[in-house]
Amino acid sequence: MKVELSVPEVMNIFKEIQKGPGKLFEMIRVDMRETVGEYLSKLMDAELTRFLGRERYERVEGEINHRNGSYGRNFTLKGIGEVDVEVPRDRDGAFNTQVIPRSKRYERELRQDLSMMFLTGVSTRTLSMISKRLIGRKISPTEVSNANKELIDAVEQWRERDLSDEPIKYMFLDGVNFDMRIDGSIEKVPVLVAIGVTEKGCKRVLGFQSGDKESAPTWREFLKDLKSRGLDGTKVILGIMDGLPGLDTVFKEEFPKAKVQRCQVHLAANVLAKVPKKLKKAVADDMRSIFYASSKKKAMEFFAVFKKKWQRDLPSAVKCLSNSIESCLTFFICPDEEWISLRTTNVIERLNKEFKRRTKPME
């Protein structure tokens, strides 16, 4: 694009620059928007010429479609902002320009950028407020939400993707409640989540779906779905999970070669719930000695000391730990360099925290 300026125009530009340090760049943006708007208008005019099969003012005999003026509209382009264009019309209303889609107010790349910012945790209202400065046009919260709906198809494709490409040796399972707007009110919706660890130690989100995390049949359906998508259950060695009702039983039935590791954080919380406040620290320290022992044999020795020490004063706490002591020490069957990551479901807790941070703006 060739730009030519006369001496008077250059002088006027310098005068405008003196009014403020950012004036020049604003003038450039305005000129760019005007130039691009004119370019798009001419492109659509040429498009109509081709559609009609003749040049403007060219006469032909008979009843035939012809030009019928134009109408003004605006369209927002990435890196340029909102431009004004003239869209030509034909008498029969048969012409539809391919240059600027009739139902769109900004280009697809901008919609993708809005969705990307939303995924990083920026709320729809915040995006609406900053959109004028970012892209040159204020976008309503509704428009932002509509742009985000394009993510739904991508999410569904991801949820249904094949899982047979790489064997999974460890699985983390947990459920979380999300606050979601349903029919105008905020309701808690439980979501089941599974994260897998490959032979190379890479973590993969295997899947998530809404469902009652306290329901064994719901978990069975979820695990069966993972296997139907190609997850090789014979390769799974260990399942790390909270003590949700029936989950361990369902997991063992669906993955008979795998063992269960009870989340030590959740178990410790259950034990400490049965301990008076003044004794919580002492009991927690003793449990930590068990959980972080150098071997299972050593851990069981520490557990024997724990029982002897607290059985008289805290029988319910001791019983709570005793009921799950074997399952919370299963991780010892794995290589010791992996122990630290297999004791708890913290990896899912971190993921759930990110899920909540990103879904909260939609409330």
352, 339, 330: which is closest to 262 by C-alpha? Answer: 330
pLDDT band at 171 (very low <50, low <70, confident <90, very high): very high
pLDDT, average across residues 285-302: 96
The hierarchical CATH code for the domain 163-263+344-363 is 3.30.420
Residues 174-202: tens digit of each pLDDT? 988 877 767 767 778 888 999 999 999 99
Question: Model pTM?
Answer: 0.69
For 296, the token pair is 């299972």
Q: What's the chain look like in SS3?
A: CCCCCCHHHHHHHHHHHCCCCCHHHHHHHHHHHHHHHHHHHHHHHHHHHHHHCCCCCCCCCCCCCCEEEEEEEEEEECCCEEEEEEEEEECCCCCCCCCCCCCCCECHHHHHHHHHHHHCCCCHHHHHHHHHHHHCCCCCHHHHHHHHCHHHHHHHHHHCCCCCCCCEEEEEEEEEEEEEEECCEEEEEEEEEEEEEECCCCEEEEEEEECCCCCHHHHHHHHHHHHHCCCCHHHCCEEEECCCCCHHHHHHHHCCCCEEEECHHHHHHHHHCCCCHHHHHHHHHHHHHHHCCCCHHHHHHHHHHHHHHHCCCCHHHHHHHHHHCCHHHHHHHCCHHHHHHHCCCHHHHHHHHHHHHHHHHHC
pLDDT, average across residues 283-298: 96
Residues 83-111: tens digit of each pLDDT? 899 999 988 888 888 888 787 787 777 77
For 330, the token pair is 């299963």
* Least trusted range by pLDDT, from 31-45, 139-153, 192-206, 240-254: 139-153
Residues 6 or more apart from 295 whose CB is under 8 A from it?
332
Supply the Cα-derived Rg of the chain in whole angstroms. Answer: 32
% of residues, the chain, pLDDT over 70: 88
